[in-house]
Amino acid sequence: MERIRTDVLVIGAGSGGLSVAAGAVQMGASVVLLEGGEMGGDCLNYGCVPSKALIAAAKVADAQAHSGDFGVAPVVPQVDYAAVMEHVAGVIAGIAPVDSQERFEGLGVRVIREYGHFVSPTEVQAGDHLIQARRIVIATGSRPLVPPVPGLEDVGYLTNETLFDLREKPEHLLIVGGGPIGMEMAQAHVRLGCRLTVIEGAKALGKDDPELAAVVLDALRAEGVEIAEGAMVAEVDRTDGGIRVAAKDGRVFEGTHLLMAVGRKANVERLNLEAAGIGTTKTGIKVDAGLRTTNRRVYAIGDAAGGMMFTHVAGYHAGVLIRSMLFGLPAKVATAHIPWATYTDPELAQVGLTEAEARTRHGDRLEVARFDYAHNDRALAMRRGAGFIKVMVVRGRPVGVSIVGPEAGEAIALWSLVIAAGLKMSAVAGMVAPYPTLAEINKRAAGAYFSPRLFDNPLVRKTVGLVQRWLP
């Protein structure tokens, strides 16, 4: 057994863990990094990267089929599904060196390719290594949540961890789960020539503003995605032709392949947290506002902390942690400025409070400013005028923004800055966006907030009249 002493031990080489390891070692700390699976974690290998690469391929196919409005003859896209998945694999391979063991060892990190578990409050065993660390960071991420549905284990279902291994196109893909992952994969596969049925136990995209979600769901249905809501799965079995999913209300769905996309579960079971005195919650590891666990020497970040499960949140956590862990400076996580996006077409993005949440919290103080993509010249030039932006404003400051439309995930970034910096709507109104760009929707939304104050205000009209009389 090799005994190792280090300043920082990072368990998990996903987005958050790699950021902590790179930052800590380059600032002078000794770092050991454990990873029993793939370097880069879920995001690189099974999540964000492959799914967006698949969506990009599907968008190309859709453009071929719907080019007539641009004066270009449409064609039926000839999809080579195996080649599409090789494209996905190639994108992963292109990014992988940035997250590789070799790169991190070159930075000075000791990388051990083993899973780790606690044997004491300050020690972790990984294979034949016993590591004692001054500070330990748990960044073990999450995995697909697979509920105990009768018959499920016997039918050979897919998750995001196995979907991208397919090389033969599914004839009819059933997706259980109408959240972001389910809806993204549904649209991508219907554009690649598959039949698609989404089976959702409650409301599809139910965590988003229903007004925005309706725009996305209408678009997907128009493309041929069947969306069955209120269909809680009762059992699954295999038929001669593929897979049969029965809902509790009696509805039955049949297809050739089944993708389970009902949520995520934090990876904490193999850590033996009890040996370190680390508490857990229903969703992950219990942490305080500084990401410290119930063991003062141990921190948890990203999905393992059981909060918002997004790659960019893990990266944000890493920055907060480096500030406090390496420099001893006060640092706490916040969530009001954390954006998220669903990469359907149109995209759906959110930061801060939805309209319903804002009305509950702020009541009559809330004002909602809106602007439609249909009045954005760049969107019209692209024939992509469906969608809108809503900005929830309290006393001149945005408390939430919802966007549905082309490039909504890009547009929402500005509002994350605005909320994080505590800026007012006047700051957005005062910016200048290039013309014509989709980014103008942000400025125009701010203009919609101020318009009634300027154009429907008798005092303003009277003041302007007086000034005009007295100006030389």
Q: Are 255 and 197 in contact (CB under 8 A)?
A: yes
Model confidence over 241-278: pLDDT tens digits?
A: 899 999 999 999 999 999 999 999 999 999 999 999 99
Q: Looking at residue 39, what is its pLDDT?
A: 97
Q: Are 300 and 314 contacting, i.e. CB atoms less than 8 angstroms apart?
A: no
Which domains does the chain possess?
2-39+100-144+265-327 (3.50.50.60), 152-262 (3.50.50.60), 339-455 (3.30.390.30)
Query: Are 191 and 56 spatial neighbours (Cβ–Cβ below 8 Å)?
Result: no
Closest CA to 370 of 353, 351, 393: 393
pLDDT digits (tens, 9 = 90+) for 40-98: 999 999 999 999 999 999 999 999 999 999 999 999 999 999 999 999 999 999 999 99
Share of residues in the chain with pLDDT > 90 (%): 93
On the CB side of 263, how many CA atoms lie within 13 Å of its CA?
Answer: 14
Give the Cα separation of 160 and 64 in Å (integer).
Answer: 27
Q: Return binding residues for NAD(+).
A: 177-184, 200, 263
- Return the structure tokens found at 368: 């909602």
pLDDT digits (tens, 9 = 90+) for 323-373: 988 888 888 999 999 999 999 999 999 999 999 999 999 999 999 999 999
Largest CA distance in the chain: 90
CA atoms within 13 A on the CB side of 224: 12
With cut-offs at 50, 70 and 90, classify the pLDDT of residue 143. very high
Q: Which residues of 35-66 are buried (b: 16+ CB within 10 A; e: fewer)?
A: bbbbbbbbbbbbbbbbbebbbebbeebbebee
Interval 282-313: pLDDT, tens: 999 999 999 999 999 999 999 999 999 999 99
Determine the Cα–Cα distance for residues 6 and 343; give it in Å rounded to an integer: 41
β partners of residue 131: 4, 124
Question: What's the pLDDT tens digit per position in 198-247?
Answer: 999 999 999 999 999 999 999 999 999 999 999 999 999 999 889 999 99
Residues contacting residue 452 through CB under 8 Å, at least 6 positions apart: none
Burial class (CB in 10 A: 0-12, 13-18, 19+), 375: middle
**Overall average pLDDT of the 145-158 stretch:** 95
Nearest CA among 294, 301, 290 for reference residue 277: 294
Residues in the chain: 472
pLDDT higher for 453 or 77? Answer: 77
**Phi (first) and psi of residue 323, to 5 degrees:** -60, -45
Give the C-alpha distances (Å, rounded to integers) separating 27 from 6, 30, 100, 135, 317: 14, 9, 20, 15, 17
Q: Determine which helix (DSSP H) or strand (DSSP E) holds 381, and give its type and residue range.
A: helix 377-381
31 pLDDT above the threshold of 90: yes
Question: What per-residue confidence (pLDDT) applies to 33?
Answer: 98
How confident is the model at residue 422, as a pLDDT?
97
Half-sphere exposure of 462 (CA within 13 A, CB side): 3
Residue 247: beta bridge partners? Answer: 233
Mean residue pLDDT across the chain? 96
Q: Residues annotated in the binding site for FAD, as ranges?
A: 52, 116, 140-142, 303, 309-312
| CA atoms of 44 and 50, how far apart (whole Å) | 7
Instruction: Return contacts of 448-454, CB within 8 angstroms, 24+ apart.
Output: 448/369, 448/370, 448/371, 449/367, 449/369, 449/391, 449/393, 449/425, 450/425, 450/426
Q: What is the pLDDT confidence band of residue 454, given thresholds at 50, 70 and 90?
A: low
Q: Which residues are annotated as a binding site?
A: 52, 116, 140-142, 177-184, 200, 263, 303, 309-312
Per-residue pLDDT band for 461 (boundaries 50, 70, 90) equals low
Question: Who has greater pLDDT, 321 or 472?
Answer: 321
Please identify which residue in the block is written with the tokens 């944000």: 316
Q: How many CB atoms lie within 10 A of CB 248?
A: 12
Is pLDDT above 90 for 459? no
